[in-house]
Chains A and B, each alone.
Chain A
Amino acid sequence: MDNLDNIFSQPTRRDLMRFGLACGAVCALGRAGRAITQDTPGKRQMAGPKLEGVARHAAMHWEKQPENRIKCVLCPRECEVADVERGYCGVRENHGGEYQTLVYGALCSANMDPIEKKPLFHYLPGTPAFSIATAGCNIECKFCQNWQISQFRPEQVESTLVTPERLVSVCKSRDCPTIAYTYSEPVIFYEYMHDTAALARQRGVGSVMISNGYIQEKPLRELCRQLTGVKIDLKAFTEKFYQEQCAGKLKPVLATLEWLKDIGIWFELVILIIPTLNDSPNEIKEMSAWVVKHLGPDVPMHFTRFHPTYRLKNLPRTPVSTLERCRKIAMDAGVHYVYAGNVPMHEGENTYCHRCRSELIRRVGFRVASNAVKDGKCSKCGAKIPGVWSQGQVIPG
């Protein structure tokens, strides 16, 4: 058997710290050691019978080409893949002219995380999200915190096979309101996410995708019928950054954001601020203006702190003052909800009513210490607060 039940029932010390029950420790680590950063998998990993080989399943969103080649149209890369070869993400393979995913249910990480860790601050605050990942990613950020799973092929990472049925029934039986598809890049395990989210929705469990936004329109629209929330990492606001630091492009991500707006699903933005690479006031100003113009002022922006890792170890951690500056620029541009992330106890981690500026949600680490949002409204001035405040809002009935 897998250890899904244990993940629910036995919080580790780290879980407790993450939930803020050992807040002193969180703060100390945040200052002196490796900070507890958003959306990294915890220490405890999937256990259970190891997957032998890969978890093959018919892939969605691809087209046949001559000579047994295929073209994948799941993400903007549009990989042309010859027989026996794989796409850029390393988890989709051409098998005799048929495209297959190799990670259907092959979970390499599973953790019970607070939804605040994703971070989603306007989505059922204070609730847990069962967070899962498979190996693989469709871009390569030089600062990836989770590169040991995102930049490896499935057979190079220990995985356990968990069917959508098993995952959803465990969540249901433990009253976990949300499954988060996260850590690596869920777009590349699209089929599993899609099927699991559809089943979860039927059983009253929500699904949030924590993604880089590198996906094409058709699969996104199809997927969003099953999802209940999305977080997108907007890595920067220049093509140069996307090309040099992420092996990707900015334009398709902006398109995704506009489609999400059009679809009407709840989503939030995270921008990891990296000293000298994407922290210029002008860039943040342009980005914020674009958000207000194209997405509206109610899409929250989280400016989060960078820590040296993976291929980007030569830069320092982001000064808190830089995050404060970014936050101010975005608020001045008219964004209603702007946060500073990965800085525990900072006032920028709290939610303030955009109309009366009173404190609505106070956060300590990833724990919600107080919440003054009542029925989706500010309890002081009655302003409607954008977000998902009850499961019924996203899964009627």
Chain B
Amino acid sequence: MSQQRTRREFLSQVGVAVAGVAIGGVAAPGCAAEPDEAGKPNRKAADNSSPRVAIARDDALARGRVGEHRELLRKLLDAAVQKVTKQADAVGGWRSMFRPTDHVGIKVNTLGLSTQPAVVDAIVAGLLSAGLAAENVIIWDRFDTELAAAGFKLNKSARGVQCRGTDAERYGSGYQRDIEISGEIGSCFSKIVAEEVTALICVPVLKDHNLAGASLGMKNFYGAIHNPNKYHDRNCDPYVADVVSHRFIGPKWRLTVCDATRAQYNAGPARHPGFAWPFGGLIVGSDVVATDAVAADLLDGERKRRGLKSLEDDKRPAKHITTAGARGLGVADLKKIERIDV
């Protein structure tokens, strides 16, 4: 049994209490991150302005298959990144967030309604434009099987963009052996997020969640811990914020690209064609909380438009977003977020 520790290992485990780690790597609200002289992103806030969240939409995206719109996706994403980072152009925007030496983990969501591979291709193109080597980029989720089923091509070779699940080698070998405590959670983290990457891009899908209200960027990181099933009580709150607060995630988080090419406004997270929502867009931000807050607001708006109860009235408010905001992980108050249509 691979999870079995030797007595020595077992006794050497030291409980690590890490709570409330601020999201250091994420641009502060309104941050126009300027590369410093060494080409290293300077992530200090330039002013106290509101965080920006870009909603990049095009009706054409809602038609046909998402994979047919690669060019359009690239254009929309670049425009959104440029707006969010307040840089002169898209390449400047990508460079303001990622160093060429970074190892970037792209966390997709392949449970139920999945992240579209074409959206991830657009992200990879952006990273390459910032000077990263393809080998320094890894697309990941929990399982190889789920990644493959969602249309991602697994790549475990040393060349090109990597793509694999935490459980790729099975029997829990992809998780750290020791438990990490963060707030109320106690979990073993994926080695990918804990040991391999220096920066994270989160690519959730704009979709409803039967317990958390909405399954967005922060909730997506339940896929980084070995025991997410333990943390669904109380609308997943405060557990989502506990996961995001952890030093393996918060400080590494640079960007959320919420895939809203094909969204779902009810009965998630499983795919449910009856509640499909052809949003045809991306929701992009570098403030993890603000991006989720805007996405959740769009979801609630769509539910209202379709005559469904709000998440609040359906007794599954996305409380984790408010909690994350209250903890200073980002901005949850919609009035303090600058929405930009692209």
| Same complex | yes
Q: In the complex, what's the smallest C-beta–C-beta distance from B184 to chain A, in angstroms?
A: 9
Partner of B230, one of A69, A82, A108, A140: A140
Interface window among B40-48, B51-59, B125-133, B262-270: B262-270
Interchain CB contact under 8 A, B267 and A151: no
Question: CA separation between A68 and B232, bound complex, in Å?
Answer: 18
Tell me, yes or no, whether A13 is within 8 Å of chain B by CB: no
Q: In the complex, what's the smallest C-beta–C-beta distance from B307 to chain A, in angstroms?
A: 16
Question: CA separation between A151 and B231, bound complex, in Å?
Answer: 12
Partner of B1, one of A34, A82, A158, A311: A158
Tell me, yes or no, whether A290 is within 8 Å of chain B by CB: no
Tell me, yes or no, whether B226 is within 8 Å of chain A by CB: yes
A84 proximity list for chain B (CB < 8 A): 111-112, 269-270
Give 1 or 0 for each of B166-183: 1 = CB within 8 Å of chain A CB: 010011100100010100
A350 proximity list for chain B (CB < 8 A): none
Tell me, yes or no, whether B101 is within 8 Å of chain A by CB: no
**Residue tally, chain A, CB below 8 Å to B:** 38
**Which bucket holds chain B's interface residue count?**
35 or more
Tell me, yes or no, whether B272 is within 8 Å of chain A by CB: yes
Interchain CB contact under 8 A, B226 and A45: no
B186 proximity list for chain A (CB < 8 A): 140, 142, 310-311
- A-B pairs with beta carbons under 8 A, tally: 99
Interchain CB contact under 8 A, B167 and A156: yes
Q: In the complex, what's the smallest C-beta–C-beta distance from A100 to chain B, in angstroms?
A: 14
Interface window among A85-93, A167-175, A211-219: A85-93
Give 1 or 0 for each of B150-172: 1 = CB within 8 Å of chain A CB: 00000000000000000100111
Interface residues of A in 288-309 (CB under 8 A from B): 309
Give 1 or 0 for each of B260-287: 1 = CB within 8 Å of chain A CB: 0000001111101000000000000000
Interchain CB contact under 8 A, B5 and A151: no
Question: CA separation between A156 and B229, bound complex, in Å?
Answer: 13
Residue of chain A at shortest CB distance from B143 = A155
A342 proximity list for chain B (CB < 8 A): none
Given contacts A84-B112, A148-B4, A156-B226, 7 further A-B pairs with CB under 8 A are: A50-B170, A82-B270, A85-B111, A148-B1, A153-B226, A156-B3, A247-B230
Listed in ascending order, the chain A residues whose CB lies under 8 Å from chain B are 34, 45-46, 50, 67-69, 79-80, 82-90, 108-109, 140, 142, 147-149, 151-153, 155-158, 247, 309-311, 313-314
A-B contact pairs, 29 of them (CB 8 A): A50-B171, A68-B267, A69-B210, A80-B211, A82-B209, A82-B211, A82-B267, A82-B269, A84-B270, A85-B210, A87-B229, A88-B230, A88-B232, A140-B186, A149-B3, A153-B227, A155-B143, A155-B167, A155-B172, A156-B3, A156-B171, A157-B3, A158-B1, A158-B2, A158-B3, A247-B233, A309-B10, A310-B179, A311-B15
